Structure 1
Amino acid sequence: MNPITDYIESGILELYVMDATTPEETQEVEQMASAHPEIRKEIDAIRQSIEAYALAHAVEPPSTLKPLVLATIDYMERMKNGEPVSSPPELTPTSKVEDYATWYTRDDMQLAPDAEDIYVKIIGYTPSVTTAIVWLKGIAEEEIHHDEHERFLILEGSCDITVDGEVNSLKPGDFFAIPLHKNHMVKVTSKEPCKVILQRLAA
């Protein structure tokens, strides 16, 4: 029996690479790697294998994730700095653009000059309802919602919302609700960004 081979095959090196060894085991592995080049080589090979697996199975996050995270941080900072909590009305088929004038006319609720393709400003939040002003310059790729209702009211510009292959062309003043469990995407059809009130309600 080869003690070095046995050590390599014991599984301890995989645990070490995944930072799952005890402090004593970590010290032992590092001493063995220092004394035996074949162990150091095996550790490097395990690291490369794990990195290759991670890259091969990486999932590209949706384009909406970053702007929503930034909008959440912005909203929390505004609350911390004393902005009063507001309650925008629920979006319905009878909603009108002017119902949201209190928010979209504010100086701090305008499209940032350096905004990327999607820009978001949250104007109201509860555990069951999030309301935001969203500017979209191009396309929001396909997504499906299983646990929240998504509703839109177009303020400026125009867009096509495609649901399961059916195209719905929207202009200022139009309301649209996305059905649960349906594939949908948004494509701007105007030269200027499509500015909407977006509301997500827990299903």
Structure 2
Amino acid sequence: MNQPTELIQSGLLELYVMGAASPQEITLVEQMAEQHPAVREELDAISLTMEAYAETHAVEPCPNVKPLLLATIAYMERLKEGEAPIEAPMLSPSSTVEDYRQWLNRPDLALSGELEDIHAHLISATPEVITAIAWLKEKSSEEVHHDQLERFLIVEGSCIITAGGQQFSLTVGDYYQVPLHVPHVIQVTSDIPCKVIIQRVAA
């Protein structure tokens, strides 16, 4: 494959741009791009086309995902540093804030600094159940869960959960479980951030 036209028509340039070419193919493409302006121009055109396609079809991640992801990373670091994992109690209508006091009283699991929107600390994690302390400043993004039951216990502040067109006003000590497949959003109604125990249980 020594001719620029043959290389351009081979599909190898597309593989190169996608990072799917072999080491030998990468060497060939880069050598040909140095020697032949037409190959370099085609590479640039393919890169621009793929970038435009990616931007057009990009899916904006749910803002609610980032705090729990960061909390998971921090939790894993705590375990590496020697923290013994303790499985948190399952949330239920009979749960109380006192059931989670050992975590709520920990200084390292308190909210530090200015709350931008949502912040969380994991207190327990298994493949089936994730439990966290979370703070919400104003409003969550709308979510729908198809394979996890999401449960809340209000620790501080108050909020309204809108789920499936119905509104549920919650204050300290209140419990709520979001039904599967139901869009829901949380709106803080207190002057302070709404602090909750949040639990996601594999359905």
TM-score by length of 2: 0.93
> Contact 2:115/2:137 (CA < 8 Å) preserved in 1?
no
Rounded to whole Å, the distance in 2 between the matches of 1:106 and 1:23 is 52
Which residue in the other structure is 1:33 paired with? 33
1:161 aligned residue? 161
Superposed, 1:52-63 pairs within 5 Å as: 52-63=52-63
Secondary structure in 1 matching 2:142:
strand
Q: How many equivalent pairs are there?
A: 201
- What CA distance in whole angstroms lies between the structure 1 residues aligned with 2:98 and 2:25? 66
* More off after superposition, 39-48 vs 108-117: 108-117
How do residues 56-75 of structure 1 correspond to structure 2 at under 5 angstroms? 56-75=56-75
Q: Does 1:76 align with 2:76?
A: yes
Aligned equivalent of 1:184: 184
14 and 112 in structure 1: CA distance in 2 versus 1, 3 angstrom threshold:
same
**Secondary structure at 2:95's aligned position in 1?**
coil
Corresponding residue number in structure 2 for 1:138: 138
Q: Out of 3-12 and 188-197, give the one that drifted further.
A: 3-12
C-alpha distance in 2 between matches for 1:57 and 1:44: 20
CA distance in 1, matches of 2:21, 2:201: 44
Indicate the SS of the match to 1:132. Answer: strand
TM-score by length of 1: 0.93
Aligned to 2:123: 123
| Equivalent-residue separation in structure 1 for 2:16 and 2:125 (angstroms) | 43
TM-aligned CA deviation for residue 14 of structure 1: 0.8
Give the match's secondary structure for 2:182.
coil
Identity of aligned residues (%): 55
Q: Deviations over 1:108-164 (max 9, x none)?
A: 221111443111011112221111110000111111111111100001111111112
Q: Report if the CA contact (8 A) 2:151-2:178 is conserved.
A: yes
1: CA distance, partners of 2:110 / 2:74 = 13
Partner in structure 2 of residue 45 of structure 1: 45
Long gaps (5+) in structure 1:
none
3-state SS, counterpart of residue 141 of structure 2:
strand
2:97 paired residue number: 97
RMSD over aligned CA atoms reads 1.4
Secondary structure at the counterpart of residue 94 of structure 1: coil
- Give the AA of the match of 1:129: V
Alignment partner of 1:109 is 2:102: no
Cα deviation 1:52-95 (Å, max 9, x = unaligned): 11111111111122211111111112222222222221111111
How far did 1:18 drift? Answer: 1.4
Which position in structure 2 is the counterpart of 1:149? 149
Residue segments in structure 2 that go unaligned for 5+ positions in a row: none
SS at match of 1:95: coil
